[in-house]
Structure 1
């Protein structure tokens, strides 16, 4: 018989799918890595298991212990899956910017969710990361802190990078990925560039984030944006700018329009960060010859956003239509 001993065994090995209609007249081959096909619905399943096992090995997480983590939703699900299987308690802090679907999903796993203001800076004690730190301190919980945890990078170095290299038989020429905590692009790019240093790595950042300003050494100011997941108002320790060759900046409207187009033309029901990534990938691919092979990482499913940008009413209310 063939079966997985538990859900953790089926994390990873997500497929590469060729984009056909949405690419228009682009000559290059554009392949989407569908991370929403992980059991928890996003690429963050990979780091959930890695960060928890790292905490276990270091003695920071004991049997029946508490995990406290700030999340935009997906890392929370990744951690909650492992916690459910291994018997840990979980508390997540999340900005009010994030969808109600994400909170409801986390609660379904048995997690406690604490909401924090969306309009405060990283130095404010009310910032969702600082709230998580304080809860972990007060309750004696394990605080993985994906933004500064090297296990975040390691997860993608050990899995995402090798999968892409294997599935393209080493022919990938360009990697395109959204940039948030930095773990995905840093770990994946590090592995791929070790195999072939000529591979170009393009990070995609939301308009309003500071990360592209850090990359290009320009002055910028944090501005509100609606895309959930990528972008930051500080420099994460898990982000290695040295592996990135170029950054593309994409607006909310461009991200949401592309995600809506993606499901209607390719049948790929993905989140706003995926729309953002595909917009960036197509912008890059337009300049490339037919020999180029572009892999774009699609972080999560569209199911967490049905009340947001997949809603015509919401799009009108937010001024995107």
Structure 2
């Protein structure tokens, strides 16, 4: 089965250069990037879909736009209305951008254990940010549940409900999955991604399972799960049970099956430790020139595991979710990594690593300026 065009509101299609209509028009049609070092090490083609190149900086731009457009079509979101959401950050950023472009008020509820850069970005975009204590989902004061109640209290507001609103999943089934199929010309053996809301993995898995690849086989779909999450054990053994202790990752790995993930065709799951995640993030930075966040580290580490399972000659696609700038105070901070016991994983065990050093302004001045020879 081939797809000649992809028709979805706010998402580009085709290879031609064109003028897009505002922020929404620039979402989607992100390139696939061949990860040279990881491909060479495994003998497979490991490709990352560059979702960090969306205008809001992450894969969540797609879900944010889809959720708002769905609410508009259904008559739930009217001019001058408000969008309320509970988020670990990237969906909040996407929603704030789209709300600005369309004239809506944006209210974001976030747990208090996220990187400061995310709060600052969302506030800079003009959204109202409510930070709440991080508690288990079973607690009525979980950030998602607070967002749902808050939406009922604000006149003209809708709750985005990204975890269980299948407009999230549908846009990935309708657009992102077919983009991957087109870009690989059907030469894809496996797809893998971590999941938080379940929208990206759930939608892409449904799309790719409609095709047979160039080996006349189904595309295998894997769930990548960080330590502390319950989804690896759920997919492998049918029971929600955490694997290991909590993770440094943000926005992925949960203890329930969301409406977006439920019923999605998954062939297997891969477990990724924080050590593997951090090592991969820094390999992406040093060897590929890609400054990415922790979820991308989990995804690429999982892709490498799958490549070794399948053997040389296969093509594995994953998601490069967002850039690393939102994690500089943590993932790219020597002191924070040291406190987590992850300096060696990052390759920063030596005190004078070329990756993270004091700024020039913090270094002592030489007694005599260095002269450059003619």
TM-score higher than 0.5 here? yes
Alpha-carbon offset, residue 224 of structure 1: 2.7
Counterpart position of 1:273: 295
Of 193-202 and 10-19, more deviation after overlay is shown by 193-202
CA-to-aligned-CA distance 1:166-217 (integer Å, 9 cap, x gap): 0000111100111111110111111111122611001101110112222222
Larger relative contact order (Cα-Cα within 8 Å, sequence gap ≥ 6) = 1
> Does 1:228 find its partner at 2:250?
yes
> Does 1:203 find its partner at 2:223?
yes
Q: Is this contact kept in 2: 1:161–1:187, CA < 8 A?
A: yes
Counterpart position of 1:186: 202
Write the distance in 2 (CA, Å) between the matches of 1:129 and 1:113.
13
The correspondence for 1:13, drawn from 29, 40, 43, is: 29
Alpha-carbon offset, residue 233 of structure 1: 2.5
> Does 1:71 find its partner at 2:87?
yes
- State how many pairs are aligned: 320
TM-score (norm 1): 0.95
Alpha-carbon offset, residue 108 of structure 1: 1.2
Q: Which has the larger radius of gyration?
A: 2
CA-to-aligned-CA distance 1:51-82 (integer Å, 9 cap, x gap): 00100111111101011001111111111111
Alpha-carbon offset, residue 124 of structure 1: 1.2
Q: Is this contact kept in 1: 2:87–2:109, CA < 8 A?
A: yes
| Structure 2: runs of 5+ lacking an equivalent | 1-16, 344-374
* Compared CA separation, residues 139 and 219, structure 1 to 2 (3 A): closer
Root mean square deviation of aligned Cα: 1.6
Write the distance in 2 (CA, Å) between the matches of 1:241 and 1:2.
37
Alpha-carbon offset, residue 24 of structure 1: 4.7
Write the distance in 2 (CA, Å) between the matches of 1:249 and 1:2.
41
**Residue 159 of structure 2 aligns to a residue in which SS?**
coil
Q: Is this contact kept in 1: 2:227–2:242, CA < 8 A?
A: no
| Structure 1: runs of 5+ lacking an equivalent | none
Shift >6 Å, 4+ stretches = none
Write the distance in 2 (CA, Å) between the matches of 1:156 and 1:2.
22
Q: Is this contact kept in 2: 1:27–1:288, CA < 8 A?
A: no
* Compared CA separation, residues 233 and 289, structure 1 to 2 (3 A): closer
**Residue 21 of structure 1 aligns to a residue in which SS?**
helix
